[in-house]
Amino acid sequence: MSDPNSRAVTLAWLGLLVASVFWAGNALVARAFHDAIPPFTLAFWRWSLALAILLPFVARPMWEHRSALCRAGWRLLVVAALGISTYSVLLYFAARTTVAINLTLLNTCLPLATFIGAGVLLNEWPPRRAWLGMAVATCGLLVLIAQGQLAQLAALSFNPGDLIMLLAVVDWALYTLLLRRWNNYFKLPPLVLLGALVACGVPMLLPFYLLELASGQRFELSAENFAAIGYTGLCASLLAYLLWNQGIRVLGVAKAVLTNYLMPVFTALLGYLLLGEGLQAYHWLGGAMIFAGLLLATRPSLR
């Protein structure tokens, strides 16, 4: 008979992998549609669609858990502002003003920021094995970014959009850490918690979306734009956030954030499958190093 805890851990890791795939696709959408859909517009409709899908399933349970939601109070608002509203907008603004490789590079700051934050805020300092695994995964990521040539790293250039992405990384690290720190206030069914976060986050986006409309920034009502909003609303928002929140709850912050190193690997694979971009030797080498680093960092928790 299988151990329920072992099964929950395995499912949590699989869920985090799927979330990374969805967010890799979100990065591709952000770059592909940055001229077609304004950032506040994409963020607002992305989360409005997610809320419309959620409400039929969570409206009644949210009412039944209203006392717990009221007890969470301002903490719920803070986490929703960080994870639902602010992060999405920062990412889409960054995608308008910087190249995809820089987004990938700056996103690698997340595990380090979260490792340090977990120690300071949660007193959950990762073991030495986790730090070593993160170092191996970082080296693998650098192989991907440099395309197997160290000289490429020296040629990288940065622009103001990179600062926006760095702010997005800090924002997401805070969201992840506070979700864990205030776990006692968020002991709710996963769908109820996500529904409450989205219900708080969408009204925060509304005034900025209206200002964007007032400035004349609109998007064309085309099948491609609707498909982009549909993907970000269903996969990159609803499903990915459910899997991410559950991963944090089961595995803890320090382990969950290591899966962020897989996003550039999945981005390369999606580029190959969807855009016909060839996979080179450095893709396989970098990907293998990243997986090796993750296995090394998480080995104590796996059987």
**pLDDT per residue as tens digits for the range 150-175:** 666 666 666 677 778 778 888 988 88
**HSE (CB half, 13 Å, CA atoms) of 281?**
2
pLDDT at 129 over 80: no
Locate tokens 């559950």: which residue? 246
Q: At 232, give phi and psi (nearest 5°).
A: -65, -35
Domain assignment of residue 164, given as a range: 4-301
What's the confidence (pLDDT) of residue 229? 92
Predicted TM-score (pTM) of the model is 0.77
More confident residue, 285 or 189: 189
* Percent of the chain with pLDDT strictly greater than 90: 26
Tens of pLDDT, residues 198-215: 999 999 999 999 999 898
pLDDT at 279 over 60: no
What's the confidence (pLDDT) of residue 302? 40
Tens of pLDDT, residues 251-276: 877 778 777 777 777 776 776 676 55
What's the confidence (pLDDT) of residue 65? 93
Locate tokens 């952000």: which residue? 30
| Confidence grade of residue 105 (pLDDT, cut at 50, 70, 90) | low
- Average pLDDT along the chain: 80
Mean pLDDT computed over 49-67: 93
pLDDT at 301 over 50: no
pLDDT at 100 over 70: no
| Confidence grade of residue 277 (pLDDT, cut at 50, 70, 90) | low
What is the chain's alpha carbon radius of gyration, rounded to the nearest angstrom?
19
pLDDT at 78 over 90: yes
What's the confidence (pLDDT) of residue 156? 61
Tens of pLDDT, residues 211-228: 998 988 888 889 999 999
Mean pLDDT computed over 87-103: 74
Q: Report which listed range, 85-94, 133-142, 253-262, is most confident.
A: 85-94
Task: Residue 51: name the closest of 267, 253, 206, 163 by CA.
Answer: 206
CB atoms inside a 10 Å sphere around CB 242: 17
- When divided into structural domains, the chain yields a total of 1
